[in-house]
Chain A
């Protein structure tokens, strides 16, 4: 739709315009009624898109000059109002992957995904959160008589990093939508099973939707309920409590009362331990920073397979940059970010899983944790 600005010069022009407005039932913005159109005075009309050409032709025919005041009314409307539930990116079940979803909807999504893709997807219980919510992971596995190795990916260990669960959901959708048509993906699934945990820190995630957008930790109480939350990524049994942590519950890097003190940590650790010999790659998704982080956080001494870790990491970063030019840095947490201990990625590596990475998704601080939803798609596409 366009809005045209016209200043009629003669009475004939006024008459023609009045006729045009009433026959085509155009939306007069100024003046409000056709009878108030006057020669020498501003006229603003909104013309619906399908009529734009016809109206302009008619004005040209009558030598009435006009100017386009607003070339795209919808665009202006969209800009002035945050879109609530727009459906620009509808995918098969109607789930909008380019928006952030509250936990309720993610639970429903998991159920749907399994239902719609039952030949490939099974939903499993990992454990329970402190507030007794069920932690589910999705197993994407192509039936075969070959035993398969596993790639594990978890998202949402830190509540405020909303782009992370958004990525896990996107990832699952991409795999399921394209495994038949994309030779790379189908070959992948012939040899590997994918285990995806869309939200690890469910209690924290819900809290960041309902109470505090910048909450990071889980929601277990300490100090007689006067203080809440352990940083789950400081709670794993890898040099636990040694560096980059606080023993004070009010800190955002509180490491808990002991390694694996938190039910969420235990749920993940137990499972990974049980499948240890089959997991070849562990990925944990965070934001922000645009980093691919390798072990370790607690020391700058490189892990035994550092060369391989760095090579694969660099290849991944290059592929990512190839998509939209987004640059990622690759390296160990201790060198690139800060010192920390008790991270899931480090623990996984120490128990023998060779390829273990933390991804810090977009951006580098411009929006930080509140990454606009319109960046969900490009972030996810490049990270795929």
Chain B
């Protein structure tokens, strides 16, 4: 009952974008930016009373470690019905991702030692540039927007992060770093570029957690 799908056709591509969003949230951070090198294989199964399940074989790379790729299998289940509930995703990463321990600790120390809270906008800028000292903030935005993309995708959407419009650090009394982002998400099918507020907490050992997110009204 599982149908093989051409990886170049959009249904498989959309499911892959969901899996990538989920993975970026789970495994991404200031020291690691995962992107899709190739979608190798895709199958779809229609599960009665549940939804459409896509089984994918992905080849991923870390933008900070491009010489190496890692295989990942993912299952994306889009639930039935018009109720907007997030797809269920399961992933298994085969092999090792490059360690981010040192980079994470450096970033953590650097931000904690800032006198003024970090504020930045337009990452990348209009010409695609990201100043090197903002690259970890950029990659953390990938992780944060990965959550939003995962939570808000359907079979009729495909989201990509277009730009970080604005980011503001919020100092906390506990050990987490907090960043309030406004990200611009590009949705392929409607072609809309949607501003989305995302608050993310991050800690070198605990990773990223989205504590609050909200689609900004209007365009």
Binding site for B on A (CB under 8 A): 79-82, 99-100, 209, 213-214, 216, 231, 244, 246, 250-253, 327, 329-331, 335-338, 364-375
Contacts of A82 in B (CB 8 A): 125, 127, 129, 131
Rounded to whole angstroms, the CA-CA distance of A369 and B127 in the bound complex is: 9
How far does the Cβ of A372 sit from chain B's closest Cβ, in whole Å?
3
Chain A interface, DSSP helix/strand/loop, else mixed: loop
> What are 16 A-to-B residue pairs whose CB atoms are below 8 Å?
A80-B132, A82-B125, A82-B127, A82-B131, A213-B126, A251-B192, A252-B191, A252-B192, A336-B8, A337-B10, A366-B35, A368-B160, A368-B161, A370-B125, A370-B128, A373-B127
Residues of chain B touching chain A, judged by Cβ–Cβ distance below 8 Å, are 6, 8-10, 17, 35-36, 38, 63, 124-129, 131-133, 160-163, 184, 186, 188-193, 219
For B6, B63, B124, the residue with the greatest tally of chain A CB atoms inside 10 Å of its CB is B124
Q: Are A368 and B132 in contact (CB-based, < 8 A)?
A: no
A214 adjacent to B184 (CB under 8 Å): yes
- B163: chain A residues within 8 A (beta carbon): 213-214, 370
Contact of A368 (CB < 8 Å), options: B10, B36, B162:
B162
Closest to A83 in B: B129
For B129, the chain A residues whose CB sits under 8 A away are 82, 372-373
Closest 3 CB pairs of A and B: A372-B128, A365-B160, A252-B191
Given A250-B219, A251-B190, CB of A214 within 8 Å of CB of B128 = no
A209→B181 CA distance, assembly (Å):
23
Instruction: Say whether B131 contacts A369, CB under 8 Å.
Output: no
- The answer to whether B36 and A214 have CB atoms under 8 Å apart is no
B12 → chain A, closest Cβ, in Å? 10
Please, how many angstroms separate the alpha-carbon atoms of A369 and B124 in the complex? 10
Cα–Cα distance between A372 and B132 once the two chains are bound (Å): 14
| Whole-angstrom CA separation of A309 from B149 in the bound complex | 35
Known pairs A100-B126, A338-B189, A365-B161; list 15 more (Cβ under 8 Å).
Answer: A82-B125, A214-B184, A250-B219, A251-B192, A252-B192, A253-B190, A330-B8, A335-B6, A335-B10, A364-B36, A365-B17, A367-B128, A370-B127, A370-B162, A372-B127
